[in-house]
Amino acid sequence: MGRKDRLAEAMKLKPEERFTLVEGLIKSLDEPDKKLDEIWAKEAETRLKAYRDVKLKGVSMEEMFKEG
């Protein structure tokens, strides 16, 4: 069954059933990615160590969000 066929079948569902289907699909896209989480955790640790070792300069929140 192709994408168009799946969509046509989904469109035959009652609105509540379509909502449940869409909600389930969206939730499936929002699942955590362990590999990506590990990469970000390692990056955060690296940056924190660099900051503590004074190899990385911090920027205040005010400066970060200042316009111009």
User: Which whole number is the average pLDDT over 53-67?
Assistant: 89
54/68 Cα distance (integer angstroms): 27
Report whether 21 contacts 13 (CB < 8 A): yes
Global model pTM greater than 0.85: no
47/41 Cα distance (integer angstroms): 10
pLDDT tens digits, 1-49? 899 999 999 999 999 999 999 999 999 888 888 999 999 999 999 999 9
